[in-house]
Amino acid sequence: MAEKIDKKDVFMIGIMVSGSFISSLNQTVMAPILPAIMVDYGITPAIGQWLTTVFMLVNGLMIPVTAYLINRFTTRQLFFAAMSFFIAGTTVCALSSDFTTLIAGRVVQAVGAGNLLPLVSVNTMLLFPKERRGLALGITNVVMGVAPAFGPTFSGWIVDTLGWKYVFYGIAPLAAVVLIIALFTLRNLHVGKRAGLDWISVALSTLGFGGLLFGFSMAGNIGWDTPHTYIPIVAGVCVICCFVRRQLRSEQPLLKLSLLRNPVFSCAVSLSMICRLGQVVGMVITPIFLQTVAGYSATVSGMTVMPATAAMAAMNPVSGMLFDKYGPRRICIIGIASVAFGTFLMSLIDVDTPLAYIVFIYTFRMVGLSLCNMPLNTWGINALPNEWIAHGNAIVQTTTQIVNSIGTAILITIMMMVAGAYLAGGATETASMVRGVNAAYRFASILSFAGLIVAIFRVDRIKR
């Protein structure tokens, strides 16, 4: 790999990052506008959260296929197809007149978005040598990290001033502009080659992870003691076991899970999943608390994350430079510790907690995430040969999106079950929801502290 990076290739990455930025907005724009959608369509939080979890799940299900798609199709073909799907889905959401149509639009959006982020990550990793990947991904993650954080602010302001549908009316033209620019400037960074797709594995992953998501979501809506909850979960686990077995035995697996036998890579993936859950609890639970419990507007809810957005933008390239210079150990431990302690503090909030305190803790947590996310992923991918980077990235992105979707369902389930128990015990609705929010944060904090222990004993102490 050449040490000198062609400026045209960097520009290509910039175009793809722009498309990924716009698509990444959709991971978090739903949080502030969900209460308005719930009112318009008369749905509960457990039903409404499907707008987020379905997008994340389909995103996650598409990512394993991207390892095949990146090898099979050219850069231009894959980028144009992904952006076209995303624009079509966004348009459907904007024009939707019922909840079912809105869900359908989110699914089509996710089909496109699920291909964009892996395309950026793989090409960046291939273009830059190992000793410069930390900084390169750090700069890329400035954009990618700001997108989910900017989403709530953007959508919160829109829903308070124009209405929630205008969130999608605003995103679709932006994506179309990127597509038009790419049409005239994007060139192929790699060429496609003929390869087979294991459709059985695609079906198994879809049914397995879809069953888990459906089961956990139903638990939050109707409880655990019903066949509609435990049958999908048990069936999902069984199908996932079949999927894993097939990947380990196949000569051309959809997802090369045998890479997890590499101790560095498996450790990095595991810790990244824990960190991601810490991010999900903030993105999903905090807006619900601020709007439905504390009574703040969607705009205020969105503005709560703005300091975190600025902090993440500043810290991502810094964490990349620190990784390139010192390795992952110290910055990952500091980052995970910040996530763990910050999440614990968020588990103590109530309706009397000052908004400034919530903003400070939220920002503190997000700075911690910016310190550990990119170094962990780069440390893990660097342990793999270049020919397996696409598959390694697919595993990282898949587990991330699975945590996004199933983690959201689990957190909402915990919140609703605890709130329901307190409500049945005679507590007020507001007090019950506070206890539910506290429980969701407490669950995430316990996992974060477990991740901190693993990081202390394992990160950068594993022989490569």
Q: What tens digit of pLDDT does each residue of 387-439 get?
A: 787 778 778 877 876 787 678 778 888 898 899 889 888 888 889 999 999 99
Reply yes or no on whether the pLDDT at 463 is more than 50: no
- CA separation for the pair 230, 224 (Å, rounded): 7
pLDDT, residue 5, reads 57
More confident: 374 or 87: 87
Lowest mean pLDDT among 248-257, 269-278, 363-372: 248-257
Lowest mean pLDDT among 186-195, 196-205, 228-237, 390-399: 186-195
CA atoms within 13 A on the CB side of 113: 31
Reply yes or no on whether the pLDDT at 2 is more than 50: no
The owner of tokens 């703040």 is 296
Mean pLDDT estimate for the chain? 81
| Stretch 202-210: mean pLDDT | 82
pLDDT digits (tens, 9 = 90+) for 147-186: 666 666 677 778 778 888 888 888 899 899 989 988 887 7
- CA separation for the pair 167, 22 (Å, rounded): 12
- CA separation for the pair 283, 256 (Å, rounded): 30
Q: State the pLDDT confidence band at 35, using cuts at 50, 70 and 90.
A: confident
Reply yes or no on whether the pLDDT at 448 is more than 90: yes
Reply yes or no on whether the pLDDT at 443 is more than 90: yes
Residue 217: closest CA among 368, 97, 49:
49
211: which 2 tokens? 């069953």
pLDDT, residue 1, reads 40
| Stretch 84-89: mean pLDDT | 93
Q: Which amino acid is at 361?
A: I
Question: CA 311 → CA 141, 231, 364, 374, distances in Å?
Answer: 13, 43, 9, 15
Question: According to the per-residue pLDDT averaged within each range, which of 1-10, 14-23, 106-115 is highest?
Answer: 106-115
Give the H/E segment covering residue 159. helix 130-161
Lowest mean pLDDT among 136-150, 181-195, 437-451: 136-150
Residue 133: closest CA among 372, 391, 327:
327
- Classified as helix, coil or strand, 129 is coil
| Stretch 245-260: mean pLDDT | 84
Residue 287: closest CA among 275, 308, 302, 306:
302
pLDDT, residue 85, reads 93
| Stretch 103-117: mean pLDDT | 86
Q: Which amino acid is at 285?
A: I
Reply yes or no on whether the pLDDT at 11 is more than 70: yes
| Stretch 277-297: mean pLDDT | 84
More confident: 195 or 323: 323
Reply yes or no on whether the pLDDT at 379 is more than 80: yes
Q: Which amino acid is at 231?
A: I
User: What is the CATH code of the structural domain delimited by 7-197+254-458?
Assistant: 1.20.1250.20
The total of other beta-carbon atoms located within 10 Å of residue 107's CB is 15
Reply yes or no on whether the pLDDT at 144 is more than 70: no
Reply yes or no on whether the pLDDT at 219 is more than 90: no
Question: CA 126 → CA 79, 135, 144, 268, 385, distances in Å?
Answer: 17, 14, 18, 19, 11
Q: Which residues contact 25 (CB under 8 A, 6 or more apart)?
A: 147, 148, 150, 151, 154, 171
| Stretch 120-124: mean pLDDT | 71
Give the H/E segment covering residue 429. helix 429-458
- CA separation for the pair 120, 9 (Å, rounded): 12
pLDDT digits (tens, 9 = 90+) for 334-377: 999 999 999 999 999 998 899 999 999 999 998 898 888 878 88
What does the DSSP assignment read for 190-248? S--------HHHHHHHHHHHHHHHHHHHHHHHH-SSSHHHHHHHHHHHHHHHHHHHHHH
Question: CA 242 → CA 5, 72, 210, 384, distances in Å?
Answer: 43, 25, 14, 25
Give the H/E segment covering residue 440. helix 429-458
